[in-house]
Chain A
Amino acid sequence: QTVVTQEPSFSVSPGGTVTLTCGLSSGSVSTSYYPSWYQQTPGQAPRTLIYSTDTRSSGVPDRFSGSILGNKAALTIMGAQADDESDYYCVLYMGSGSLVFGGGTKLTVL
């Protein structure tokens, strides 16, 4: 079974820019996988940030953007703020209605 891969952790300085990635254990991510991104703070439900590679969900600031970088999906956060410190999950569409989560990236802002 194909595994969706993410960096386990990442850190960024306040005001800085960070790019998190989402790959496959075998193969390349393309727009056909409809990558989506979710933010989750401890004890809270996930919040949808990005869907269909690069479309921001309602109310998501434009500091958050999605793209395909090389063979991976990417989430870029510009002007990082303290409350961006969260876990970030990507999801890929694997066909036949199947959605698979990555293992998540714990982002630290310091």
Chain B
Amino acid sequence: QITLKESGPTLVKPTQTLTLTCTFSGFSLSTSGVGVGWIRQPPGKALECLALIYWDDDKHYSPSLKSRLTITKDTSKNQVVLTMTNMDPVDTATYYCALGDYRYYYMDVWGKGTTVIVSS
């Protein structure tokens, strides 16, 4: 059974750096064709893909947020970490991680999400 779980702070202050961790089980991020992505959803708005990391350490970032994002993986711990710098209230959202498939380019299994509020 594949599961993913997001963890991190619920509340961050403006200008702070957000660090989110996706801990997964049931698959290995060293397997060819596998990736993990971070997707966010502001309240009442659409989903937005932030960053993807693949088994070969290839990374892709949203062009509009690229300067603020870093995605890394720790294969031994089955974790993917996303950092986002210079947080702003508009970054308030539910943040999801998901298992990505690099053969067919889609998100296969999703975590339940974690809510992040940016406020002073």
Which A residues contact B (CB, under 8 angstroms)?
1, 34, 36, 38, 40, 45-48, 51-52, 55, 57, 89, 91, 93, 96-104
Contact = CB atoms under 8 A, between A and B. Distances in A.
B60 A98 contact: yes
Interface stretch (B24-32, B46-54, B83-91): B46-54
A64 B10 CA distance: 36
Contact of A99 (B37, B59, B109): B37
Contacts, number: 74
Q: Across chains A and B, which 5 residue pairs bring their CB atoms closest together, nearest first?
A: A93-B105, A36-B106, A97-B60, A51-B106, A34-B105
Given A36-B107, A91-B106, A45 B46 contact: no
A57 B26 CA distance: 17
A48 B109 contact: yes
A91 B100 CA distance: 12
Contacts of A102: 46
Interface stretch (B11-19, B72-80, B110-118): B110-118
The SS class assigned to the A binding surface is strand
B110 A55 contact: no
B104 A55 contact: yes
Contact of A48 (B48, B63, B110, B112): B110
A37 B110 CA distance: 13
A96 B60 contact: yes
Contacts of B98: 46
A19 to B, nearest CB: 20
Nearest to A50: B106
B104 A51 contact: yes
8 contacts: A36-B107, A46-B96, A48-B108, A93-B106, A97-B58, A98-B52, A101-B46, A104-B47
B47 A101 contact: yes
B60 A47 contact: no
A104 B46 contact: yes
Interface in B17-69: 35, 37, 39, 46-49, 52, 54, 58-60, 63-64
